[in-house]
């Protein structure tokens, strides 16, 4: 599966093997930082393409002034540190 998304300075693409997650499987996306939310939203798109169930996001750091949380689906979001 593949998802293209916008960066502040261009475009990028995330890819995932089609057998990485099974349809109906519960998934938690974990990343070090959420800034503008583009990468996390793209990862959620990959989970949707795989027909798995996104159950939440976990981040170590959230840069709140960049508003990335607003780009994410309505699932629980946990962050350890916010700036």
The pLDDT tens digits of the residues spanning 28-82 come to 999 999 999 999 999 999 999 999 999 999 999 999 999 999 999 999 999 999 9
In contact, 56 and 44? CB cutoff 8 Å: no
Per-residue confidence (pLDDT) for residue 77, from 0 to 100:
98
Per-residue confidence (pLDDT) for residue 24, from 0 to 100:
98
pLDDT category of residue 9 using cuts at 50, 70 and 90: confident
Q: Give the pLDDT confidence of 10-40 residue by residue, as tens digits.
A: 999 999 999 999 999 999 999 999 999 999 9
Report the predicted TM-score, pTM, of the whole model to 2 decimal places.
Answer: 0.94
CA 13 to CA 59: how far, in whole Å?
A: 20
Closest listed residue to residue 40, CA positions, set 75, 82, 83: 75
Closest listed residue to residue 9, CA positions, set 41, 30, 38: 38
Q: CA torsion sign, 58 to 31 to 40 to 22?
A: negative
Which domains does the chain carry? Answer: 2-82 (3.40.50.2020)
């Amino acid at each position: 599966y593949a998802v293209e998304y916008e960066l502040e300075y261009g475009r990028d693409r995330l890819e995932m093997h089609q057998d990485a997650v099974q349809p109906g499987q519960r998934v938690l996306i974990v990343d070090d930082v959420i800034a503008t939310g583009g990468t996390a939203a793209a990862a959620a798109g990959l989970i949707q393409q795989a027909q798995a169930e996104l159950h939440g996001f976990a981040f170590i750091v959230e840069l709140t002034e960049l508003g990335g949380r607003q780009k994410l689906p309505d699932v629980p979001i946990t962050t350890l540190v916010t700036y």
